[in-house]
């Protein structure tokens, strides 16, 4: 295969139709390392994403570009691979290169997917990821995924992209990335393991609301009936959507405030405790609103807003992303989050969506509406030639130090929340009683979920 780099203009033409693999020309790969160059291919990237039935909002150009803006580190370098045939894109790998250094010496070149969080890698897999993205993956048109995976392998093996270790977090269980370095010809080059991440419930969109209601238990159907009365004849509260980008921004601010107050009362810092998370979502929701890909609503009455929810629309799927509500309000008994979720399902059905995806997490409300779920995985692969080297040993030592710092920072944040919400003489005791059982549960889950790669191959 020819992996000669070409300019963005010559490769990313969006030419169509793309030939079937059996009739293909010679695939070529282009490596993008600059943010401006990646910015320039947005339209072609999203055409490719919409041509991949497995793509999600987390492979959209908007999501990847903004994640890179707000979450990448200064030493990180883009290593985005574009794959084309006769000038037409057939696949892409949104990767970046993170080089770990000890005393200025590069001890590991690590390839990661744009959108990756930090917690899983920095805790040796003991804790699940804390990043904003759910499904991370490559893009490939139907019939081309094997070619794309093979070309990624070639780019790594021929040194086009230096790579001692691939750390691929939150990839879907059906991702083509699971085939990396598993062919007979290349199985000996890299070795590693996959561990289970979160489960991700989803609802195949029903043909209509009545069909959906018939699929539910009698108790859940009663909740929908009560909701209809609360919004209709009783007029207890109302649902409002955004008619403009500034209104969408206000709904996001309501959501941030509701989310933070509730999770702080529960003892957690909340998703938006770090300012760059809020800035990321402000930019993201603004751009997605302009593109018609943002769903956002609030529940309110004459006293004000007491619930908010956002979802994203992409590639025929509604992604139910985040909600917040005032759990101290008298309106909580009317389940504002459920009301907003019901409205999103109505809009998804009316809009002809093929799926409503509830994203990662096993919250009970999701399984009130569906029994279907997928599983994400964390996949790590390390070059066999790298094992046992001085660089590898130094990386392991540095990793232990990162783990310690990560855990200290994590517990410090949780302790500060307890300090804010409890009396001074009780906050430490309540922190211990709050944290100890959760830590034990996470440790147990991490140990039980690990699947050695050689076992995986034998199935």
Query: pLDDT tens across 303-322, in order?
Result: 999 999 999 999 999 999 99
Does residue 370 sit within a domain? Answer: no
| Owning domain of residue 88 | 8-201+376-458
Strand segments, DSSP code E, in 119-215 are 139-140, 165-172, 190-204
Distances (CA, A) of 207 to 187, 211, 348: 45, 7, 10
Instruction: Choose one of 353, 385, 416: the last residue of a domain.
Output: 353
pLDDT one-digit tens code per residue, 115-168:
998 766 666 666 666 689 999 999 999 999 999 999 999 999 999 999 999 999
Phi, psi of 306 (to 5 degrees): -130, 5
One domain for residues 390 and 336: no
Q: Are residues 215 and 196 in the same domain?
A: no
Looking at the structure, do residues 181 and 238 belong to the same domain, yes or no?
A: no
**CA dist., res. 221 & res. 224, Å (int):** 5
- 313 within domain boundaries: yes
Q: Give percent of the chain above pLDDT 90.
A: 59
Instruction: Give the chain's domain count.
Output: 2
Same domain, 242 and 294: yes
303, 399: one domain = no
8 Å CB contact between 3 and 69: no
Q: What is the CATH number of the domain that holds 340?
A: 3.40.630.30
Using pLDDT thresholds of 50, 70 and 90, give the confidence band for residue 193. confident
Whether the full predicted model's pTM is greater than 0.75, yes or no, is: yes
Q: For residue 167, tell me if it sits in a domain.
A: yes
Encode pLDDT of 208-220 as tens digits.
Answer: 888 899 899 998 8
The number of beta carbons lying within 10 Å of the beta carbon of residue 250 is 15
Alpha carbon distances (Å) from 340 to 25, 335, 356: 49, 9, 14
CB 297 within 8 A of CB 303: no
Task: Specify whether 63 is located in the same domain as 186.
Answer: yes
Residues 147 and 285 in one domain: no
Percent residues over pLDDT 70 in the chain:
87
In a domain, 414, yes or no: yes
| pLDDT tens for each residue of 9-39 | 445 544 444 555 555 678 999 999 999 999 9
Whether 429 is covered by a domain: the verdict is yes
Mean pLDDT computed over 222-244: 84
CA distances from 344 to 3, 219, 312, 350 (A): 44, 20, 10, 10
pLDDT at 2: 41
**Smallest Cα–Cα separation from 169: which of 65, 92, 94?**
94
Q: Higher confidence at residue 372 or residue 434?
A: 372
Q: Return the closest-CA partner of residue 325 out of 230, 277, 256, 270.
A: 256
pLDDT given for residue 15 in this prediction: 42
Helix axes of 61-71 and 275-290: crossing angle, nearest 10 degrees: 160
Same-domain check for residues 318 and 448:
no
Q: Is residue 15 part of a domain?
A: yes
Residue ending a domain, among 318, 338, 353, is 353
**Nearest residue to 128 (alpha-carbon basis) of 446, 452, 454:** 446
Q: Are residues 343 and 417 in the same domain?
A: no
4 pLDDT exceeds 90? Answer: no
User: 433 and 332, same structural domain?
Assistant: no
Q: Mean pLDDT, the chain, as a whole number?
A: 87
**Domain-located, residue 1:** no
Q: Do 264 and 165 share a domain, yes or no? A: no
- Domain boundary at 285, 318, 353, which? 353
Q: Is 71 in the same domain as 192?
A: yes
As a whole number of angstroms, the distance between CA 40 and CA 38 comes to 5
Give a yes or no: residue 359 inside a domain.
Answer: no
Highest mean pLDDT among 272-276, 295-299, 452-456: 295-299
């Amino acid at each position: 295969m020819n992996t000669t780099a070409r300019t963005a203009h010559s490769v990313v033409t969006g030419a169509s139709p793309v030939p079937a693999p059996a009739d293909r020309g010679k695939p070529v790969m282009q490596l993008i390392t600059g943010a401006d160059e990646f910015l320039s291919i947005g339209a072609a990237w999203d055409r490719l994403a919409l041509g991949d039935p497995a793509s999600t909002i987390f492979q959209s150009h908007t999501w990847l570009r903004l994640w890179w803006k707000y979450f990448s580190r200064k030493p990180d370098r883009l290593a985005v691979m574009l794959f084309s045939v006769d000038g037409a894109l057939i696949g892409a790998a949104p990767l970046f290169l993170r080089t770990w250094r000890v005393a200025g010496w590069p001890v590991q070149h690590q390839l990661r997917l744009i959108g990756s969080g930090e917690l899983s890698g920095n805790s040796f897999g003991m804790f699940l990821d804390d990043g904003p993205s759910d499904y991370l993956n490559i893009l490939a048109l139907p019939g081309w995924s094997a070619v794309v995976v093979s070309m990624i392998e070639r780019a790594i093996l021929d040194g086009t992209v230096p790579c001692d270790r691939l750390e691929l977090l939150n990839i879907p269980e059906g991702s083509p990335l699971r085939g990396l370095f598993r062919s007979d010809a290349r199985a000996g080059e890299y070795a590693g393991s996959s561990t289970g991440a979160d489960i991700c419930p989803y609802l195949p969109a029903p043909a209509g609301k009545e069909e959906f209601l018939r699929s539910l238990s009698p108790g859940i159907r009663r909740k929908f009936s009560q909701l209809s009365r609360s919004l209709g004849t009783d007029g207890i509260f109302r649902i409002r959507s955004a008619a403009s980008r500034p209104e969408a921004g206000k709904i996001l601010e309501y959501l941030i405030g509701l989310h933070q107050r509730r999770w702080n009362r529960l003892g957690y810092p909340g998703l938006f405790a770090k300012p760059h998370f809020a800035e990321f979502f402000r930019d993201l929701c603004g751009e997605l609103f302009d593109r018609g890909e943002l769903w956002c609503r609030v529940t309110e009455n004459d006293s004000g807003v007491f619930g908010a929810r956002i979802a994203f629309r992409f590639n025929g799927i509604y992604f139910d992303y985040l909600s917040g509500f005032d759990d101290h309000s008298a309106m909580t008994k009317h389940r504002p989050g459920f009301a907003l979720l019901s409205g999103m399902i109505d809009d998804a059905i009316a809009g002809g969506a093929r799926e409503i995806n509830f994203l990662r997490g096993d919250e009970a409300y999701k399984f009130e509406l569906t029994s279907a779920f997928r599983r994400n995985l964390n996949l790590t692969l390390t070059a066999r030639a790298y094992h046992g080297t001085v660089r590898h040993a130094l990386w392991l030592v540095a990793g232990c130090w990162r783990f310690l710092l990560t855990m200290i920072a994590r517990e410090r944040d949780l302790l500060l929340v307890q300090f804010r919400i409890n009396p001074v003489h009780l906050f430490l005791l309540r922190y211990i009683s709050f944290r100890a059982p959760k830590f034990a549960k996470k440790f147990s889950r991490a140990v039980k979920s690990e699947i050695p790669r050689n076992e995986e191959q034998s199935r």
